[in-house]
Structure 1
Amino acid sequence: MRLSTVILPIHRWSEGQQIWRRAEDLGFHAAYTYDHLSWRSFRDGPWFGAMPTLTAAAMATQSMRLGTLVTSPNFRHPVTLAKELISLDDISGGRVTLGIGAGGSGFDATALGQEPWTPRQRADRFAEFVPLLDRLLTEDSVSYEGDFYAAHEARGIPGCVQRPRLPFAVAATGPRGLRLAAHHGQAWVTTGDPKLYENGTPAQSVHALHGQMEKLADVCAEIGRNVAGLDKILLTGFTPDRGRPLESLDAFVDFAGRHAELGFTEIVLHWPIPDSDFAADQKIFERIAMEAPAQLG
């Protein structure tokens, strides 16, 4: 079981760089950030761009993996995103993972002036976005004309440091997204069942996650892929447990152990942010980072 963190891009770099360095010192496998233009309760406060933040983090760290959790088509185009990712992978020495999802409604989904997309419209774009991005990161030159995206002799030279390209961690729970994860992902990401967030129980959440795992396995079997070869990432903070796993080391080990039994290979914790949904005791958080992996094996 790997333990990672997600650091929201809310800090000026004079402060933020210390957090990213501390995350590496604590031994986290990876540190991710959200790729949004704004987000929920942080919408009216400081919020910096994901790619510049990750570039700076790459220069401030040595070995920890870095990435987005997650990027979406809401305000990204595959051609320009591919160029940024190739550059970031080079700067980091091949330490980048791209978390990618279909995107949601609200917040920054209409920041470019577009009308809100329906779930089907988001899924349609995602189904075109991921395969095109895959090509742009693995081929020297790509031309493509689709329903939503186009590329004309888009160059991807010299390509990623990681070969054949940097890994995709595909966030998905529906059938179309799970197929994209099975076809193009090196990892699958979930936050649990959003329907259970307000009134569900931890037991119901585990049951729902088990169901998601089964659906992923079925999709992989359909295309002849061994689901065991796909990493399974749980981004915490959105299940009925909320912050309870961070109340103590024992509470977290119990939480992580139950999810490891489901097949999760990586658990991601939000770096504590006072007076927010991600508030937690920093000392307990750091103790979890340092001691929990050895207990989980």
Structure 2
Amino acid sequence: MRLSTVILPVRRWSEGGRDMWQRAEQLGFHTAYTYDHLTWRVPFRDGPWFGAVPTLTAAAAATTRLRLGTMVTSPNFRHPVPLAKELITLDDLSDGRVTLGIGAGGSGFDATALGGHPWTPRERADRFAEFVPLLDRLLTEDEVTAEGTYYAAHQARGLPGCVQRPRIPFTIAATGPRGLRLAARHGQSWVTTGDPAANENGTPADSLAALARQTEALEKACAEAGRDSATLGRTLLTGFTPDRPLDSLGAFVDFAGHVRALGFDELVLHWPLPDTRFAADETVFTRIATEGLAQLGG
């Protein structure tokens, strides 16, 4: 199992932002992700929030081994053509240390920041189903021309391509059938935060049962796509289930053992932020980062 973290882009680079990314590398995290939003939910809506790609570019220059990624990018305010160019550049600047977490987006602030009404769930799914295959092509082919319902590319050049071949890995966020099919066809990994209903109203046991159902649905999608499900990684972004794995080292080891038994091979922990839902004791967080997997036996 791999242990990763997600660092919300809320601090100025000169006032602790750089330090968190360098500390993540020192603690031995596999990947440090950041959210790709224009802003996020309360209380972050009314505070500082920086762009994901510039932040990851700075993090690439400030680190040497740590993998870097988005958790997650969405079509809410992105177009595949300029996004592909930014990702190819970031992959080059980091010497091949980039992972793209990508999802269908939601109905939050990002959905209306460019004007207009938020898309329906059906339209988000339709756009996502077009966005991912086109982005895949843009990152693997030298030149792409495509005309879709929502997205087009005309002689879009992808030279020199990604450092990572055939392209940077995709970690695809999905829970519904269409998204899971995309993960099975285009993903190197799949990511979930758990089941929203179980997260909101259930117990830790309810949440684990819901995660088990999601992994079963993923395996079905892989079978339908003719893919061995063992070749698709499984990532859990923590902090939304009823569990409290950051309360203690023991709580983490117990939680991680349960989700590893479900087939998850990467856990992503939120970097502690005081006075938010991600508040945690930094001493405990450090122990989890440095001792957690050894205690788990992985």
Structure 2: tracts of 5 or more residues without a match: none
Confirm whether residue 24 of structure 1 aligns to residue 25 of structure 2.
yes
Q: CA deviation at 1:198?
A: 2.3
In structure 2, C-alpha distance between the alignment counterparts of 1:281 and 1:223, rounded to whole Å: 43
Amino acid of the residue matched to residue 292 of structure 1? G
SS class of match (2:245): helix
In structure 1, C-alpha distance between the alignment counterparts of 2:9 and 2:95, rounded to whole Å: 22
Deviations 1:176-198 (A, max 9, x none): 00000000000000000011222
Q: CA deviation at 1:276?
A: 0.4
Deviations 1:227-246 (A, max 9, x none): 011110000011112xx210
| Alignment RMSD (CA, Å) | 0.6
SS class of match (2:29): coil
Deviations 1:222-274 (A, max 9, x none): 12111011110000011112xx2101000000000000000000000000000
Which residue number corresponds to residue 98 of structure 1? 100
Amino acid of the residue matched to residue 286 of structure 2? E
Confirm whether residue 119 of structure 1 aligns to residue 121 of structure 2.
yes
Amino acid of the residue matched to residue 173 of structure 2? A
SS class of match (2:171): strand
In structure 2, C-alpha distance between the alignment counterparts of 1:83 and 1:37, rounded to whole Å: 19
Which residue number corresponds to residue 150 of structure 2? 148
In structure 1, C-alpha distance between the alignment counterparts of 2:26 and 2:257, rounded to whole Å: 24
Normalising by the residue count of structure 2, what TM-score does the alignment of the two structures yield?
A: 0.98
Listed as ranges, the matches of 1:74-113 within 5 Å are: 74-113=76-115
Deviations 1:34-75 (A, max 9, x none): 000000120110000000000000000001100000000000
In structure 1, C-alpha distance between the alignment counterparts of 2:200 and 2:215, rounded to whole Å: 22
SS class of match (1:182): helix
In structure 1, C-alpha distance between the alignment counterparts of 2:208 and 2:247, rounded to whole Å: 19
Confirm whether residue 235 of structure 1 aligns to residue 237 of structure 2.
yes
Deviations 1:96-124 (A, max 9, x none): 00000000002221100021101000000
In structure 2, C-alpha distance between the alignment counterparts of 1:288 and 1:27, rounded to whole Å: 11
**Equivalent of residue 192 in structure 1, options 170, 191, 194:** 194
Which residue number corresponds to residue 283 of structure 1? 283
Normalising by the residue count of structure 1, what TM-score does the alignment of the two structures yield?
A: 0.99
Which residue number corresponds to residue 249 of structure 2? 249
Amino acid of the residue matched to residue 17 of structure 1? R
Q: CA deviation at 1:295?
A: 2.0
Which residue number corresponds to residue 138 of structure 2? 136
In structure 1, C-alpha distance between the alignment counterparts of 2:255 and 2:268, rounded to whole Å: 12
In structure 1, C-alpha distance between the alignment counterparts of 2:141 and 2:278, rounded to whole Å: 40
Deviations 1:81-100 (A, max 9, x none): 00000000000000000000
Matched-pair identity in % = 75
- Give aligned pairs, total: 295
In structure 2, C-alpha distance between the alignment counterparts of 1:230 and 1:197, rounded to whole Å: 24
SS class of match (1:43): helix
Which residue number corresponds to residue 35 of structure 1? 36
SS class of match (1:159): coil
SS class of match (2:293): helix
SS class of match (1:8): coil
